[in-house]
Amino acid sequence: MNGGRAGTERLVVIGGDAAGMSAASQARRMRGPDELEIVAFERGHFTSFSACGIPYWVSGDVPERDLLVARSPEQHRARDIDVRLRTEVVEIDVERRRVRARDAVSGTESWTPYDRLVIATGARPVRPDMPGVDAPGVNGVQTLDDGQALLDSLEHAEGRRAVVVGAGYIGVEMAEALVKRGYAVTVVNRGAEPMSTLDPDMGCLVHRAMEGLGITMVNDADVTKLLTGREGRVRAVATDDAEYPADVVVLGIGVRPETGLARAAGLPLGDHGGLLTDRTMRVRGHENIWAGGDCVEVHDLVSGQERYVPLGTHANKHGQVIGTVVGGGHATFPGVVGTAVSKVCDLEIARTGLREKDARRLGLSFVTATIESTSRAGYYPGSSPMTVKMLAERGTGRLLGVQIVGREGAAKRVDVAAVALTARMTVEEMTALDLGYAPPFSPVWDPVLVAARKAAAKVHETP
């Protein structure tokens, strides 16, 4: 017992965002302060904020920063969670069950013992090592401070030309945000098409739609340097072939697990650099340490392999599971199927399960079916086109993955496939699903069912 009071255990949480504070909150719900002391260290200025909301704050859709804070440090403290902001944990001493933390302001360091530890250190953005990357006008969008810096950067920009580096979720969402701010936006993308989480044939639909929105898409392009001008401020993004003038640059290249501390402490990391846990989010081989959120790898229920999927929705579920288990209850996080949804203006993009290249890498023999349908009955006002691509295992017919690109109603339709993947349904079984139908909501055959019918018809074809 490390706690200050007799009979009290101490839970230490490293990281004050979704996973860490969900864990702390749920643990508090289950055990009162007389049983469990909770200390949470956060190196930044905020707790429990929605990083996923930053693009919409930048766009102006969300009018102020504090709306993105689900629960402030004061709110956590009011529930007897001792939140220590601007305090970075710099070492985990697994042997002696304690962490060393540094106060960012004073620089002083001290050890805090724990009975149970939650590691929720999150992710760090990939920041390419190239000239100009630290110049004023170049911005990440990982934290609320980043978001504020970007807004300041927009304020000081001399012109209205923005370049977004990267065309994944963050890239396309930031492209939308900057279009809404009135910028001429160029997206420079290393891949053949935007949204590499989709197959290229579906990414191509996103590409065309983005161009339709007035966004310039540059594919197959590696950024080599960022050129600077007056006062050292960024003025252009350079690839091997070209230069793209920029008054502001947003880096949306992706993130990696922030697991330096865990690595130094000898905790188990996977191939993607994330912490490895069991289904209760307990770090493998460590009875009293849990980890969740963007610093862990997750089990992929479709491939059977570990993956790195840094999404807020998983982080919240991890925190909920950890808090329940730490609090003495039972809960598990069985894994993910790879669902993700996004939008660029009114274009909705969704995916779940395996892409063609994932299925090939796993050595699976599969068929694909791509169909075009509509969001509502064709005769109902506002009906808009939707493309659904479905992958199924040849022979067995097991659903492997679904990708959807369309307008209103496209994104959340992928949830049907997410549940079907979880239940290991076949596409033949899916054709009979009793999905909601009424003219304002769907054609009489839901687009997902149309895709399932086409895939089911191909499952028994010889390759």
8 binds a copy of itself (CB under 8 A): no
- Provide the minimum distance between the beta carbon of 203 and a copy of itself in the complex, in angstroms, as a whole number: 17
31 binds a copy of itself (CB under 8 A): no
Percent helix / strand / coil, the chain, rounded to 5: 30, 30, 45
Give the DSSP H or E segment for 385.
strand 385-393
- Residue range at the interface with a copy of itself (CB under 8 A); choices 108-116, 158-166, 202-210, 338-346: 338-346
**What CA–CA distance (Å, rounded) separates 320 from 2?**
24
Q: Which of 259, 317, 270 is nearest to 293 (CA)?
A: 317
- Residue range at the interface with a copy of itself (CB under 8 A); choices 127-135, 206-214, 220-228, 430-438: 430-438
Q: Return the residue matching tokens 């949804």.
A: 341
Residues 6+ apart with CB under 8 A from 257: 123, 269, 272, 273, 274, 275, 294, 295, 296, 297, 308, 310
332 binds a copy of itself (CB under 8 A): yes
Closer by beta carbon to a copy of itself, 60 or else 266: 60
Burial of residue 441 (number of CB atoms within 10 Å: 0-12, 13-18, 19+): middle
- Chain centroid to Cα 463, Å, comes to 36
433 binds a copy of itself (CB under 8 A): yes
- Provide the minimum distance between the beta carbon of 159 and a copy of itself in the complex, in angstroms, as a whole number: 28
* Residues between 289 and 318 with contacts to a copy of itself, criterion CB under 8 A: 311-314, 316-317
By three-state DSSP, how is residue 460 classified? coil
User: Measured in Å, how far apart are the chain's first and last C-alpha atoms?
Assistant: 63
Given candidates 436, 461, 462, 463, which one binds a copy of itself under the rule CB under 8 A? Answer: 436
Please name the amino acid found at residue 13.
Answer: V
143 binds a copy of itself (CB under 8 A): no
Closer by beta carbon to a copy of itself, 104 or else 419: 419
384 binds a copy of itself (CB under 8 A): no
- Provide the minimum distance between the beta carbon of 174 and a copy of itself in the complex, in angstroms, as a whole number: 13
264 binds a copy of itself (CB under 8 A): no
Asked whether the beta carbons of 290 and 116 are under 8 A apart, the reply is yes
120 binds a copy of itself (CB under 8 A): no
334 binds a copy of itself (CB under 8 A): yes
333 binds a copy of itself (CB under 8 A): yes
Asked whether the beta carbons of 99 and 41 are under 8 A apart, the reply is yes
Sites of contact with a copy of itself (CB under 8 A): 18, 50, 52-53, 56, 61-62, 67-68, 169, 311-314, 316-317, 320, 332-343, 348, 350, 352, 377, 379-381, 409, 411-416, 418-420, 422-423, 425, 429, 431-442, 444-446, 453
